[in-house]
């Protein structure tokens, strides 16, 4: 059953400068969420300035012409709101959740920083230190983070997905103010942004305000070309990390399709069959039956360019990684070699459908989903027929996509072995 | 102007003679149905020497019932597109499911079967014991996780009902037998003090009738009535002077920092004052501490203070992290900022900002089916009532400067007797903290 447009009466507008606007009124609670999606992420970077997209996300909170340093969040919180942002390989998203009375202020804050962000050396130095702490927290002292970073560098030779979103430490340390300014001019123009407003507001009035505040911001030049090429993988690749951990761990990745490729929906179902819920194949086999792992988890996200289908194993202390790997490969081979039963396929479809519905349960969730569909799939309307597209996937599709995506020669494997590297 | 009161969706509450509370909330919109069963089976109920038994028992529920083995339990639940949510807080053990609206009866049957008719097969108990021990071991790899476990263990202290993490300790889990799980289930999975909540598209009356009909079908499956002795909650004894515990994490290039002092229970009549005073100090992105540590000095990515408010006792906790060689600077700035705040309280601007921030965002915590059920259930079970939610905004908006100032002093994590906990490389931390206060180095494994 598709989602009904009647339940999601999204209004679509765009301004002369190219800003895309999506409005979804919902008066059930006196709150709103505003998302600003910029089509820029780590794939738009180059060696030497890796991490600039993420560093820039931090810089966006350091003041603009009308609202000086510290003012953005101070004004927002004083009006009953909060903000945050995230950067991915493909995009940077900023959001504000707020009491609906604060809408004029929130639009003014966002428009002002798009029009006139202040980038100074003092805030750059300070924010660089903050980001380095974030990197130490998420990567240098975090097993999942260090595995993920190593996997990207292993699986991609040429594509920008090769480096971590947070960037290499040496690059974070050396990015200059001039590079930030160039980045802002290139990517933070209205024609590279989709604005999504959801919640308790009057659409005509909100649109008038958006036009007034954003309409004067000039469009940017075309976006620099992304070096998106990647040679085919001709054999398994491996890397080993030694770290004084309690137990071994493993992260495997297979290069899959891009987000707009219909096969990505099939991989969503394979992900659910393998790791969503305690009865999923990997959980059942590796965690419960063979007792090899504390956790077995699959992660597949839609990407602009062909991204990774990742499998993470957190091994029980003392388990031989080779044994766990063998069990993993056997489970993946089953997906390729055997036809998935209708019952199991239905289970996966139901789990994915429920996940989509739950993502629409909050104001922030609806705004995020509308924007993500717009940026990643080309239109928010993609979410309406997603349930039908999942429903139409057959067991033969699952087998075909598994065979194409998960053969042994496409493996990239990073293993973490407890122990220290001798100095 | 932010409206002063929050309008809850249509709901009905009914307390049954058995002591079980029924809660039905009508939520229109998405065609979803949510059910949540909360029982007085939290970590504070763990018997002495059996820390983690509540968590262990609740996790075991899904590993087979008297009607079907574990694999079929998973199939029963996940074929509906749902995943069984389990949570063991200090006070309660909770199980919940969210399913498409048309599957409401199946969801209730599944949840009640899992909650009330566990098999606790010997082999499953042994496997769960091995899994839990492996997980506790593995959790030591996450410094923030170790810091969280240390806050609870050291903050409340040994012997206090809240003085252990819900997952327990390896030494205790190692002793768990089938009889322990059976006994915990028989004595804690009681209707008295429990709450069954449903959130869905039907009217509250229809939802209550559905709950009653299903409960009648499962009536004989509840364990028999059982009396338990009341828990002893002694007041948290303040230490005389600040002290530090360093938990050694080899190779760590960053230190996790917690500063802990006794706080307030959730039932405090001064709840609003406490939350407002804490927000100005260390909540949100513009608090005093965020300014001093992150914005002005770039010492950390994350800094906050949080009130751990349990039903009968609480803690006041400062949290942050920084690279090894700025540990002392971060601790000094944190202590100085918190001490100044304890003496002066918030400025009028900071007070106003904290009040409006809390009031404006409050409705977001009641948006999803899951949040509605959890928030209302907790308010009822903690004895706070619906008024706690309905009047939350007006109460925080009414907090005065004087009230906030008093609370700032009373709840400061930096007052004398506070405990500084650092998870990081011991030698580096010891060098940095030298001369600050008495230091003690503990090994990571002690916190598994």
Q: What is the rounded radius of gyration, in angstroms, for the C-alpha atoms of chain A?
A: 23
Q: Which residues contact A219 (CB under 8 A, 6 or more apart)?
A: A17, A18, A189, A190, A191
Residues of A in contact with B254 (CB under 8 A): 133, 136-137, 140-141
Q: Which of B30, B250, B356 sits opposite A361 (nearest CB)?
A: B30
Residue A356 touches chain B, beta carbons under 8 Å: no
Task: Give the model's pLDDT for residue B1.
Answer: 57
Q: What are B414-445's pLDDT values in tens digits? A: 988 899 999 999 999 999 999 999 999 999 99
CATH hierarchy code of domain B243-447: 3.30.830.10
C-alpha–C-alpha distance, residues A108 and A399, integer Å: 51
The encoded tokens of residue A423 equal 């100095």
B56 confidence band (pLDDT: 50, 70, 90): very high
Q: How far is A380 from chain B (nearest CA, A)?
A: 18
Q: What is the dihedral of CA B264, B370, B6, A205, to 10 degrees?
A: 130
Kindly indicate whether the domain formed by B11-221 is annotated with CATH number 2.60.40.1930: no
Tell which A residues from 224 to 263 touch B, by Cβ distance under 8 Å: 243-247
Q: What is the dihedral of CA B293, B297, B299, B305, to 10 degrees?
A: 10
pTM: 0.95
Q: What are A313-348's pLDDT values in tens digits? A: 999 999 999 999 999 999 999 999 999 999 999 999
Given an 8 Å threshold on Cβ–Cβ distance, is A363 in contact with B141? no
User: How large is the average pLDDT for residues A368-390?
Assistant: 95
- The Cα-based distances of A262 to A90, A268, A368 in angstroms read 19, 10, 21
A-interface mutation test, from B285, B371, B426, B447, most A Cβ less than 10 A away: B285
- The Cα-based distances of B312 to B186, B231, B325, B407 in angstroms read 24, 10, 39, 18
For chain A, how are helix, strand and coil distributed in percent, rounded to 5? 45, 20, 35
Q: How far is A238 from chain B (nearest CA, A)?
A: 23
C-alpha–C-alpha distance, residues A105 and B111, integer Å: 46
Residues of B in contact with A106 (CB under 8 A): none
Task: Give the model's pLDDT for residue B231.
Answer: 79
Q: Do the Cβ atoms of A19 and A193 come closer than 8 Å?
A: yes
Q: How far is B168 from chain A (nearest CA, A)?
A: 17
Q: Which residues contact B12 (CB under 8 A, 6 or more apart)?
A: B22, B23, B24, B204, B205, B207, B208
pLDDT of B4 above 70: no
Q: How far is B266 from chain A (nearest CA, A)?
A: 23
Q: Do the Cβ atoms of B238 and B262 come closer than 8 Å?
A: yes
Q: Which of B82, B253, B357 sits opposite A354 (nearest CB)?
A: B82
- The Cα-based distances of A147 to A321, A410, B314 in angstroms read 14, 18, 37
Q: Do the Cβ atoms of A336 and A403 come closer than 8 Å?
A: yes
Q: What are A71-121's pLDDT values in tens digits? A: 999 999 999 999 999 999 999 999 999 999 999 999 999 999 999 999 999
Q: Under DSSP, is residue B296 helix (H, G, I), strand (E, B) or coil?
A: coil
C-alpha–C-alpha distance, residues A44 and A184, integer Å: 12
Task: Give the model's pLDDT for residue A420.
Answer: 77
C-alpha–C-alpha distance, residues B407 and B351, integer Å: 12
Q: Which of A101, A284, A350 sits opposite B71 (nearest CB)?
A: A284
Residues of A in contact with B323 (CB under 8 A): 132-133, 136
Dihedral sign of CA atoms B251, B255, B256, B260 in order: positive
Q: Which of A80, A291, A347 sits opposite B357 (nearest CB)?
A: A80
- Looking at the DSSP bridge assignments, the partners of residue B424 are B248
Residues of A in contact with B333 (CB under 8 A): none
Q: What are B246-279's pLDDT values in tens digits? A: 999 998 999 999 999 999 999 899 999 999 999 9
For chain B, how are helix, strand and coil distributed in percent, rounded to 5? 45, 20, 35
Domain A11-214 and domain A237-418, same fold? Reply is yes
Q: Which of B251, B294, B361 sits opposite A97 (nearest CB)?
A: B361
Lowest mean pLDDT among B1-15, B245-259, B279-293: B1-15
Q: Which of A31, A143, A316 sits opposite B141 (nearest CB)?
A: A143
Task: Give the model's pLDDT for residue A46.
Answer: 95
Dihedral sign of CA atoms A183, A189, A192, A193 in order: positive
Q: What are B345-373's pLDDT values in tens digits? A: 999 999 999 999 999 999 999 999 999 99
Domain positions in chain B are: 11-221, 243-447
Q: In chain B, which residue's Cα lies nearest the Cα of A287?
A: B131
Q: Under DSSP, is residue B448 helix (H, G, I), strand (E, B) or coil?
A: coil
**Is residue B430 exposed (0-12), middle (13-18) or buried (19+ Cβ within 10 Å)?**
middle
CATH topology of domain A11-214: Cytochrome Bc1 Complex; Chain A, domain 1 (3.30.830)
Residue A139 touches chain B, beta carbons under 8 Å: no
Q: What is the dihedral of CA B97, B103, B107, B108, to 10 degrees?
A: 120
Q: How far is A130 from chain B (nearest CA, A)?
A: 5
E strand spans, A175-248: 193-199, 237-243
Residue A97 touches chain B, beta carbons under 8 Å: yes
Residues of A in contact with B75 (CB under 8 A): 279, 347
Kindly indicate whether the domain formed by A237-418 is annotated with CATH number 3.30.830.10: yes
C-alpha–C-alpha distance, residues A261 and A377, integer Å: 9
User: How large is the average pLDDT for residues B95-106?
Assistant: 96
pLDDT of B83 above 60: yes
Task: Give the model's pLDDT for residue B416.
Answer: 84
**Is residue B182 exposed (0-12), middle (13-18) or buried (19+ Cβ within 10 Å)?**
middle
Q: What is the rounded radius of gyration, in angstroms, for the C-alpha atoms of chain B?
A: 23
C-alpha–C-alpha distance, residues B337 and A50, integer Å: 35
- The Cα-based distances of A277 to A346, B89, B314 in angstroms read 14, 22, 34
Q: Do the Cβ atoms of A323 and A279 come closer than 8 Å?
A: no
What average pLDDT does chain A have?
96
Report percent pLDDT > 70 for chain A: 99
The CA-based angle A352-A354-A355, given to 5 degrees, is 65
Q: Which of B1, B253, B367 sits opposite A136 (nearest CB)?
A: B253
pLDDT of B288 above 80: yes
What average pLDDT does chain B have?
95
Neighbouring C-beta atoms of residue B177, cutoff 10 Å = 13
Domain positions in chain A are: 11-214, 237-418
Distance of CA B274 to the CA centre of its chain: 17
C-alpha–C-alpha distance, residues A150 and A373, integer Å: 29
C-alpha–C-alpha distance, residues A393 and A348, integer Å: 11
Which pairing describes strands A249-255 and A412-418: parallel, antiparallel, or unpaired? antiparallel
Residues of B in contact with A97 (CB under 8 A): 361, 364
pLDDT of B5 above 90: no
E strand spans, A222-318: 237-243, 249-255, 293-300, 308-315
Given an 8 Å threshold on Cβ–Cβ distance, is B367 in contact with A128? no
User: How large is the average pLDDT for residues A7-25?
Assistant: 96
Tell which A residues from 314 to 343 touch B, by Cβ distance under 8 Å: 314, 316-317, 343
Q: Do the Cβ atoms of B60 and B181 come closer than 8 Å?
A: yes
Strand order in the sheet with A412-418: A237-243, A412-418, A249-255, A308-315, A293-300
Size of interface A-B (CB pairs under 8 A): 196
Q: What are phi and psi of A325, to 5 degrees?
A: -60, -45
User: How many residues are listed for chain B in this entry?
Assistant: 448
Q: What are phi and psi of B81, to 5 degrees?
A: 85, 15
Q: In chain A, which residue's Cα lies nearest the Cα of B4?
A: A30
pLDDT of A19 above 90: yes
Q: Which residues contact A107 (CB under 8 A, 6 or more apart)?
A: A34, A206, A209, A210, A213
Residue A296 touches chain B, beta carbons under 8 Å: no
Given an 8 Å threshold on Cβ–Cβ distance, is A29 in contact with B367? yes
pLDDT of B58 above 80: yes
Q: How many helices (H) and strands (E) does chain A have?
A: 15, 11
Residues of A in contact with B359 (CB under 8 A): 80, 99
Given an 8 Å threshold on Cβ–Cβ distance, is A31 in contact with B364? yes
Residues of B in contact with A124 (CB under 8 A): none
Q: Under DSSP, is residue A411 helix (H, G, I), strand (E, B) or coil?
A: coil
Q: What is the dihedral of CA A396, A401, A407, A410, to 10 degrees?
A: 180
Neighbouring C-beta atoms of residue A159, cutoff 10 Å = 21
């Amino acid at each position: 059953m598709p989602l009904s447009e009647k339940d999601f009466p999204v209004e679509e507008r765009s301004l002369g400068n190219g800003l895309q606007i999506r409005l979804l009124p919902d008066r059930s609670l006196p709150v709103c969420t505003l998302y600003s999606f910029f089509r820029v992420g780590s794939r738009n970077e180059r060696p030497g300035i890796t991490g600039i997209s993420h560093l820039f996300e931090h810089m966006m909170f350091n003041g603009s012409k009308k609202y000086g340093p510290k003012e953005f969040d101070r004004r927002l919180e004083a009006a009953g709101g909060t903000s945050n942002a995230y950067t991915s390989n493909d995009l940077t998203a900023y959001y504000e959740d707020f009491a609906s009375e604060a809408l004029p202020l929130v639009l003014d804050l966002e428009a002002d920083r798009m029009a006139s962000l202040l980038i100074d050396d003092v805030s750059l130095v300070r924010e660089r230190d903050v980001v380095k702490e974030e990197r130490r927290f998420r990567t240098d002292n975090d097993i999942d983070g260090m595995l993920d970073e190593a996997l990207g560098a292993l699986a991609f030779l040429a594509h920008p997905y090769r480096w971590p979103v947070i960037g290499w430490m040496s690059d974070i340390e050396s990015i200059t103010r001039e590079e930030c300014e160039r980045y802002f001019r290139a990517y933070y123009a209205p024609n590279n942004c989709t604005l999504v407003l959801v919640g308790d507001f009057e659409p005509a009035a909100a649109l008038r305000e958006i036009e007034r505040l954003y309409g004067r911001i000039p469009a940017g030049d075309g976006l620099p070309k992304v070096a998106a090429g990647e040679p085919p993988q001709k054999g398994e690749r491996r890397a080993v990390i030694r770290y004084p951990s309690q137990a071994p761990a493993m992260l495997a990745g297979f290069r899959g399709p891009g987000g707009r490729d219909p096969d990505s929906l099939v991989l969503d179902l394979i992900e659910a069959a393998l790791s969503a819920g305690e009865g999923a194949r990997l959980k059942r086999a590796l965690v419960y039956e063979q007792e090899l792992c504390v956790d077995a988890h699959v992660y597949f996200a839609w990407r602009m360019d062909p991204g990774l289908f990742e499998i993470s194993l957190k091994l029980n202390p003392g388990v031989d990684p080779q044994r766990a790997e063998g069990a993993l490969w056997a489970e993946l081979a089953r997906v390729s070699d055997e036809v998935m039963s209708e019952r199991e396929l239905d289970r996966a479809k139901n789990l994915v459908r429920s996940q989509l519905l739950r993502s629409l349960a909050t104001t922030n969730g609806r705004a995020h989903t509308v924007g993500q569909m717009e940026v990643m799939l080309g239109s928010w309307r993609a979410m309406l027929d997603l349930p039908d597209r999942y429903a139409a996937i057959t067991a033969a599709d699952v087998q075909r996509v598994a065979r194409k995506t998960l053969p042994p020669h496409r493996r990239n494997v990073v293993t973490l072995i407890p122990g220290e590297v001798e100095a | 102007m932010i409206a002063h009161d929050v309008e809850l969706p249509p709901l009905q509450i009914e307390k049954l003679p058995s002591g079980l509370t029924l809660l039905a909330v009508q939520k229109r919109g998405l065609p979803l149905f949510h059910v949540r069963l909360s029982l007085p089976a939290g970590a504070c109920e763990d018997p002495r020497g059996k820390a983690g038994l509540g968590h262990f028992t609740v996790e075991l529920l899904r590993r087979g019932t008297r009607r079907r083995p574990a694999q079929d339990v998973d199939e029963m639940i996940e074929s509906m597109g749902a995943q069984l949510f389990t949570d063991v807080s200090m006070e309660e053990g909770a199980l919940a499911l969210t399913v498409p609206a048309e599957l409401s009866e199946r969801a209730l049957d599944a949840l009640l079967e899992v909650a009330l008719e566990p098999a606790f097969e010997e082999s499953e108990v042994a496997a769960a014991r091995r899994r839990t021990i492996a997980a506790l071991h593995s959790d030591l790899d996450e410094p923030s996780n170790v810091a969280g476990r240390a806050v609870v263990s050291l903050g409340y202290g040994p012997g206090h009902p809240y003085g252990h993490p819900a997952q327990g300790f390896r030494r205790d889990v190692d002793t768990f037998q089938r009889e322990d799980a059976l006994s915990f289930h028989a004595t804690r999975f009681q209707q008295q003090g429990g709450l069954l909540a449903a959130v869905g598209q039907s009217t509250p009356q229809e939802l209550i009738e559905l709950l009653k009909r299903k409960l009648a079908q499962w009536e004989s499956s509840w364990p028999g009535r059982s009396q338990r002795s009341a828990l002893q909650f002694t007041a948290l004894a303040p230490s005389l002077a600040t002290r530090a515990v360093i938990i050694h994490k080899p190779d760590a290039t960053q230190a996790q920092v917690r500063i802990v002092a006794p706080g307030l229970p959730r039932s405090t009549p001064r709840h609003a004052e406490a939350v407002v005073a804490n927000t100005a100090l260390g909540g949100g992105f513009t608090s005093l501490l965020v300014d001093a540590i992150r914005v002005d000095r770039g010492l950390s990515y994350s800094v906050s203070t949080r009130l751990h408010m349990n039903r009968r006792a609480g803690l006041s906790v400062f949290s942050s992290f920084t690279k090894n060689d700025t540990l002392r600077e971060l601790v000094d700035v944190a202590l100085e900022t918190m001490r100044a705040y304890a003496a002066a309280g918030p400025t009028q601007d900071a007070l106003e900002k904290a009040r409006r921030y809390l009031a404006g965002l409050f409705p977001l915590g009641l948006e999803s089916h899951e949040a509605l059920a959890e928030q209302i259930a907790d308010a009822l079970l903690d004895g706070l009532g619906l008024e706690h939610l309905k009047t939350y905004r007006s109460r925080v908006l009414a907090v005065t400067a004087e009230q906030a100032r008093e609370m700032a002093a009373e709840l400061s994590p930096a007052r004398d007797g506070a405990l500084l906990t650092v998870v990081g490389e011991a030698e580096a931390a010891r060098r940095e903290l030298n001369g600050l206060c008495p230091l003690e180095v503990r090994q990571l494994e002690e916190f598994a």
